[in-house]
Amino acid sequence: MLRGVVIGVAMACLMGGAAYAVDEEPADNECSDQVAATDEAVQSKVDSMSEADAEKVNQLLDQADALCTEGKFQDASATLATINGMIAKK
């Protein structure tokens, strides 16, 4: 059940971010690809995370996606590195 909730929240956040991105300059494809790859890695580890950890990781994913959209690619990469460090421990 937790997995379904986390996946639903992650998808809603990613889709919501994409809706806002339509009106803005296109984000760097490499940055968006990194966010997508990290999201896939998170989804493969979500079962082993606590609900609080999963929520924190999803918030960071949203933040990284927003940073990509804003063109802040270095900040997005740093956020993705933080996420990858968190899920590597699981």
At residue 88, the pLDDT reads: 86
The mean predicted confidence, pLDDT, of the chain is 81
Dump pLDDT digits (tens) for 54-85.
999 999 999 999 999 999 999 999 999 999 99
- Could you say which DSSP state residue 71 is in? T
At residue 27, the pLDDT reads: 46
Q: How many domains does the chain have?
A: 1
Per the structure, the complete domain to which residue 37 belongs is given by 2-88
